[in-house]
Copies of this chain bind each other. A is one copy, B any other.
Amino acid sequence: MNLVLFESGELDQPLPLADPRAQHVLKILRRGPGDTFVAGLVDGPLGEATLVAVDDTALTLAFFPTTTPPPLPAVTLLIGLPRPQTARDLLRDATTLGAAALHFVATERSDPNYAASTLWTSGEWRRHLLAGAAQACDTRLPRVTWTDTLATGLARLPPPGRDRRLALDNYEASGPLPASPGPAPAAGIVLAFGPERGWGPADRAALRAAGFTLHSLGPRPLRLETAVVAALAVQGCGMA
């Protein structure tokens, strides 16, 4: 945790000792009364927090905003709904790398039961974004959806033509994923990944109709969560 993140309004009241962030401040950062640490408000400013007081039940903190982080890179991910454990790693790592939107969509070969996982229904998914943003020392979280089909997800994209649309595919790729020729176009990059079992023929037709070209990350099949990190890195997401 390179940053301790708080929700807006959360710092108006004491932070219970049982909160993992309170434990982090006391045990890992080893802060005592009067000490400061790097903190931020979710989707708001970065700044410095002062540990004002500690008692038997809670920490009292004061937050002083200093900077506003830049907007996230205009990179959108469309991802065939994966196993919840895969999604957890993806939510965290794609947030760390700075993707601005993560749309998990039902595809021909994704398991529809995955959308009913407590990862999604309990709100747990947001915890992984917070971990990924804290790692990146950023306050900004990507937008996340998980109830669309691939068709709906594609229809929600801005009109094609100005963004860069690349789908990853081990089987029908026209060539390797090209390195980004420079900063992301203002209209953005959309990267599409099939679920663990890959794209089906109707998925590929829908992607091509929406202006995507199919690319490979080489002859070695990668785990989905590894492929997402590799593709974002090749595209330079978060690296400028």
A218 touches B231 (CB 8 A): no
A2 touches B221 (CB 8 A): yes
> Which listed residue (B135, B137, B231) contacts A233, Cβ 8 A?
B231
Known: A226-B229, A229-B230. A220 touches B93 (CB 8 A): no
Is A222 in the interface zone, CB < 8 Å from B? yes
B-facing mask of A118-136, CB < 8 A → 1, else 0?
A: 0000000000000000011
CB distance from A188 to the nearest CB of B (A): 18
Is A211 in the interface zone, CB < 8 Å from B? no
Q: What bracket does the count of chain A residues touching chain B fall in?
A: 20 to 34
Is A138 in the interface zone, CB < 8 Å from B? yes
Residues of B within 8 A of A234 (CB): 179, 233-234
Q: Which residues of A206-240 have CB atoms within 8 Å of chain B's CB atoms?
A: 216-223, 226, 229-234, 238-240
- Give bound CA distance, A199 to B218, whole Å: 31
Residues of B within 8 A of A218 (CB): 238-240
Is A110 in the interface zone, CB < 8 Å from B? no
Is A176 in the interface zone, CB < 8 Å from B? yes
Is A101 in the interface zone, CB < 8 Å from B? no
Residues of B within 8 A of A238 (CB): 218-220
B229 touches A233 (CB 8 A): yes
CB distance from A200 to the nearest CB of B (A): 18
Residues of B within 8 A of A2 (CB): 221
CB distance from A73 to the nearest CB of B (A): 10
Residues of B within 8 A of A220 (CB): 96-98, 135-138, 238
The closest CB in chain B to the CB of A70 belongs to B219
A233 touches B221 (CB 8 A): no
Residues of B within 8 A of A93 (CB): 223, 226
What are 15 pairs between A and B in contact, CB < 8 Å? A2-B221, A96-B226, A98-B220, A135-B222, A135-B223, A136-B220, A137-B221, A179-B179, A217-B239, A218-B239, A219-B238, A220-B238, A229-B233, A230-B232, A230-B233
Interface residues of A (CB under 8 A from B): 2, 93, 96-98, 135-138, 176-177, 179, 216-223, 226, 229-234, 238-240
3 nearest CB pairs, A to B: A218-B239, A230-B233, A136-B220
